[in-house]
Amino acid sequence: MWLLLILLLWWFVSTSAFISWIVAAVIFECGYFLGMIVRAILDAAGFKAFGLIRDRRSD
């Protein structure tokens, strides 16, 4: 994780700030949606992913 932050910081310093912020935003969004998909799959499999998903079973 720290290595990723260091690499992102180096990227910000060594390239255009505007382009690097766009790239960082895209990476963050992709990671966020990938996390949502993984949690949805785990929820469908019967797991509560990290306790963040409410049980969707209908009574």
**Predicted pLDDT at 54:** 57
Does residue 57 lie in a domain region?
no
Q: Give domain status of residue 30, yes or no.
A: yes
Residue 41 lies in a domain: yes
Radius of gyration of the chain (CA): 17
The verdict on residue 31 lying in a domain is yes
Distances 7 to 12, 16, 29, 32, 46 between C-alpha atoms, Å: 9, 15, 18, 19, 37
Mean pLDDT of 25-36: 82
What domain range is 11 assigned to? 2-51
Q: Tell whether 9 is covered by a domain.
A: yes
Of 16 and 33, the structure prediction assigns the larger pLDDT to 33
DSSP state of 35: H
- Looking at every residue in the chain, the average pLDDT score rounds to 73
Residue 59 lies in a domain: no
What is the tally of structural domains in the chain?
A: 1
Q: What is the pLDDT of residue 48?
A: 60
How many residues are given for the chain? 59
For the entire predicted model, the pTM comes to 0.36
Contacting residues for 9 by C-beta, under 8 A, at least 6 apart: none
pLDDT interval class at 59 (50, 70, 90):
very low
